């Protein structure tokens, strides 16, 4: 969601902070700001794009320590007053940036106002900086330092309920940057004579690949000379410095008009990378070494509980079908924002699988923490090494998709599905439901998928023409059955996200139970009709749609000669195993959404009101 950055080094802080904020633009934001420690606290903020902020900053702003922020409004409308950083003290003594939600901010705000603190914003964050000032200086007009910035922050955070990643600076400690974390992402970059803090490694990857991941309730002090990290009790920690292997150039557009289009094309390599080292056609084996569940534990599983949000929930829904059909294990799936509030019934023999692209999705993390109270084994499927979810679960499977900059998930969805296929087949093999020969054949078909996706991509001009022809439609319907139902939901979501066209996905068999009343002449209906056990039923649904004068866009395999009799437009995918066809159909729908948004001149990589990582509830 929001992005935070911090710098302590020998270079001018302002250009470094601005460059780092630009690297976080993909997360979505409505305002931005920086504070630099020069002759004192110097803060500059603006609404809108970072270029607006740049225009506010003096060309030769001095200072080698500073903090910055991109804000996505939660408490208070988008405005300069509500933008971060927020300051406290007269003259300005302290400045802070914050990601997260302070749940008891109203009570704290009332208390601080009674004590004489003046609030200039509607945000919950301003509570933190005034509370920090109170612990360091004692009262609003206070100038006498009663404790240092680090100790003051520790004391202030003890009064706060909720989530936070904060970075703060003080005019009385000009060479220091102090940070803290609970339930929101925070990472430190270790440089040569300079050190960085950010909510995402992308912010400083151009400067260093050596990082320290900050855990909950930890605090850290950054200076040009080094980094010190402390635990909740204030003890100095010996944190492991990890190296980020992927190159920031991978996050550039590489000649594509948009990141989303680039990432749709990268599904070919992303799926290949996710499979690498995990499958053996020769042995008919699946290797998931990161999975801590032993074979005996897998055999004893009576239930799988999948937890996810948004696009990851669609992947999980397909995963439910795969785990039940292939592995024969009862599987439930829940939307995380609902799961934790419905008093779930959990018991032994249940594996919880949390799916989150960023590994920082607030609702998913909360659901995992809820489920851990039942002592169930937990597994995360994520794309981000070192993200919070990796420290909250027993096992982690990484999608190996590389950085995904476009807000609308594409390659991370396909690689999530790839791991779910492997899990289902692995469980089936261990539980004796599948033979090594079946697994060999399945792996052979799965290995064909990247090449088959490339065949779909080679037809993008046909999909583009279709998108342009229907770009004026006000409503879209997506239909699928069985394994294609989650893909219909995902296709509708992609169209909504980036083109702002109203779209709904339905289980095709439910059409007659109400949604068919919405069909009108010319309404485009995308029917996913690849060959399989529900193919004939889909043809019946297509006929129902045509009888209402709607227009059918069918996704079907290239050898299907029947579908053209009923559909107005047919978008083709290569013939494949029925179980694997969703990996091909979804690419068609991603391209359809992309080219529709392009025809409508929409902001594709950063659609309105959306952010890449939803790190607050």
Which residue's structure tokens are 């220091």? Answer: 176
Q: Is the peptide bond before 91 cis (omega within 30 degrees of 0)?
A: yes
Quickly count: other Cβ atoms within 10 Å of residue 445's Cβ: 14
State the CATH number of the domain containing residue 172: 3.60.20.10
Helices (H), 351-433: 362-372, 388-392, 411-430
Of 196, 214, 245, the one marking the end of a domain is 245
Residue 613 resides in a domain: no
Residue 614 resides in a domain: no
Query: What pLDDT, on a 0 to 100 scale, did the predictor assign at position 201?
Result: 86
Residue 412 to residue 357: CA distance in whole angstroms: 6
**What does the pLDDT average to over 458-474?**
94
Of 181, 213, 245, the one marking the end of a domain is 245
Same domain assignment for residues 371 and 382: yes
Same domain assignment for residues 511 and 443: no
Q: At what angle do helices 411-430 and 582-599 cross, to 10 degrees?
A: 170
Which residue's structure tokens are 């039942």? Answer: 374
Residue 179 resides in a domain: yes
Residue 318 resides in a domain: yes
The answer on pLDDT for 520 being more than 80 is no
Residue 281 resides in a domain: yes
pTM of the predicted protein model:
0.70
Same domain assignment for residues 108 and 221: yes
**CA 471 → CA 427, 478, 525, 597, 602, distances in Å?**
43, 15, 13, 8, 12
| Least confident range of 201-205, 519-523, 530-534, 581-585 | 519-523
pLDDT bucket at 248, cuts 50 / 70 / 90: low
The answer to whether the beta carbons of residues 453 and 270 sit under 8 Å apart is no
Same domain assignment for residues 403 and 270: yes
pLDDT bucket at 186, cuts 50 / 70 / 90: very high
Same domain assignment for residues 240 and 270: no
The answer on pLDDT for 526 being more than 90 is yes
Q: Which domain holds residue 41?
A: 3-245
Same domain assignment for residues 229 and 271: no
The answer on pLDDT for 348 being more than 80 is no
The answer on pLDDT for 563 being more than 70 is yes
For 67, which DSSP code?
E
Same domain assignment for residues 375 and 496: no
Residue 608 resides in a domain: no
Report the SS3 class of residue 608: coil
pLDDT bucket at 176, cuts 50 / 70 / 90: very high
Percent of the chain with pLDDT over 70: 96
* Cα 220 from chain centroid (whole Å): 25
Six-digit token string for 335: 């939307």
Q: Is 612 a catalytic residue?
A: yes
Same domain assignment for residues 303 and 183: no
Q: According to the 3-state scheme, what is the secondary structure of 429-442? A: HHCCCCCHHHHHHH
Same domain assignment for residues 35 and 161: yes
**What does the pLDDT average to over 509-529?**
80
Q: Is 331 a catalytic residue?
A: no
Tell me the per-residue pLDDT of 130-164, one tens digit each, with 9 for 90 and over: 999 999 999 888 888 999 999 999 999 999 988 89
The more confidently predicted of residues 245 and 565 is: 565
Query: What pLDDT, on a 0 to 100 scale, did the predictor assign at position 252?
Result: 64
Same domain assignment for residues 421 and 509: no
Same domain assignment for residues 394 and 474: no
Of 228, 245, 262, the one marking the end of a domain is 245
Same domain assignment for residues 101 and 234: yes
Tell me the per-residue pLDDT of 49-100, one tens digit each, with 9 for 90 and over: 899 999 999 988 999 999 999 987 666 777 899 999 999 998 889 999 998 8
Sort 403 into a burial class: Cβ within 10 Å, 0-12 / 13-18 / 19+: buried
Q: How many structural domains comprise the chain?
A: 3
Percent of the chain with pLDDT over 90: 59
Residue 485 to residue 483: CA distance in whole angstroms: 6
State the CATH number of the domain containing residue 502: 3.40.50.10490
pLDDT bucket at 615, cuts 50 / 70 / 90: very low
Query: What pLDDT, on a 0 to 100 scale, did the predictor assign at position 547?
Result: 75
Query: What pLDDT, on a 0 to 100 scale, did the predictor assign at position 200?
Result: 84
Closest by CA to 531, choosing from 568, 484, 592, 570, is: 484
């Amino acid at each position: 969601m929001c992005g935070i950055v911090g710098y302590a080094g020998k270079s001018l802080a302002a250009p470094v902070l601005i460059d780092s904020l630009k690297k976080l633009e993909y997360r979505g934001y409505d305002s931005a700001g920086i504070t630099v420690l020069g002759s004192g606290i110097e803060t500059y903020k603006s609404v809108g794009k970072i270029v607006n902020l740049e225009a506010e900053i003096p060309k030769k702003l001095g200072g080698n320590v500073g903090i910055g922020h991109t804000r996505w409004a939660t408490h208070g409308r988008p405005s300069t007053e509500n933008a971060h950083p927020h300051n406290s003290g007269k003259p300005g003594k302290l400045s802070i940036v914050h990601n997260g939600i302070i749940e008891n901010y109203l009570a704290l705000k009332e208390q601080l106002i009674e004590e004489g603190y003046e609030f200039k914003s509607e945000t919950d964050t301003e509570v933190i900086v005034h509370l920090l000032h109170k612990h360091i200086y004692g009262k609003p007009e206070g100038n006498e330092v009663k404790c240092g910035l680090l100790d003051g922050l520790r004391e202030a955070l003890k009064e706060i309920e909720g989530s936070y990643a904060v970075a703060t600076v003080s005019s009385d400690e000009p060479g220091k940057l102090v940070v803290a974390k609970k339930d929101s992402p925070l990472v430190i970059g270790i440089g040569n004579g300079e050190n960085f803090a950010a909510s995402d490694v992308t912010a400083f990857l151009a400067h260093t690949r050596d990082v320290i991941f900050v855990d909950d309730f930890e605090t850290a002090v950054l200076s040009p000379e080094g980094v010190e990290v402390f635990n909740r009790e204030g003890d100095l920690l010996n944190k492991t410095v990890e190296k980020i292997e992927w190159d920031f150039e991978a996050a550039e557009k590489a000649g594509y008009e948009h990141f989303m289009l680039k990432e749709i094309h990268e599904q070919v390599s992303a799926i290949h990378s996710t499979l690498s080292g995990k499958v053996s056609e020769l042995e008919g084996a699946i290797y998931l070494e990161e999975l801590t569940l032993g074979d005996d534990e897998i055999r004893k599983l009576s239930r799988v509980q999948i937890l996810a949000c948004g696009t990851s929930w669609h992947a999980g829904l397909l995963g439910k079908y795969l785990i039940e059909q292939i592995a024969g294990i009862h599987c439930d799936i829940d939307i995380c924002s609902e799961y934790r509030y419905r008093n779930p019934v959990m018991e032994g023999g249940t594996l919880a699988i949390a799916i989150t692209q960023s590994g920082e999705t607030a609702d998913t993390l909360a659901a995992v923490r809820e489920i851990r109270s039942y002592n169930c084994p937990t597994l995360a499927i994520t794309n981000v090494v070192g993200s919070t979810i990796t420290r909250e679960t027993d096992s982690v499977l990484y999608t190996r998709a590389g950085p995904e900059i476009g807000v609308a998930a594409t390659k991370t969805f396909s690689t999530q599905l790839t791991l779910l296929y492997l899990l289902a087949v692995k469980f089936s093999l261990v539980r004796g439901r599948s033979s090594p020969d079946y697994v060999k054949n399945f792996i052979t078909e799965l290995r064909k998928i990247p090449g088959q996706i490339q065949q779909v991509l080679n037809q993008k001009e046909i999909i583009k023409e279709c998108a342009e022809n229907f770009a004026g439609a006000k409503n879209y319907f997506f239909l699928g059955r069985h394994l294609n139902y989650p893909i219909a939901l995902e296709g509708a979501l992609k169209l909504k996200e980036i083109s702002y066209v109203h779209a709904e996905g339905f289980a095709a068999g439910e059409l007659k139970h109400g949604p068919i009343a919405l069909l009108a002449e010319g309404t485009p209906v995308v029917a996913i009709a690849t060959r399989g056990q529900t193919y004939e039923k889909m043809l019946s649904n297509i006929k129902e749609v045509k009888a209402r004068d709607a227009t059918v866009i069918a996704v079907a395999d290239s050898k299907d000669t029947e579908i053209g009799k009923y559909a107005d437009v047919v978008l083709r995918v290569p013939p494949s195993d029925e179980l694997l066809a969703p990996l091909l159909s979804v690419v068609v729908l991603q391209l359809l959404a992309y080219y529709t948004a392009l025809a409508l001149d929409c902001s594709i990589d950063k659609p309105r009101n959306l952010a890449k990582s939803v790190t607050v509830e």
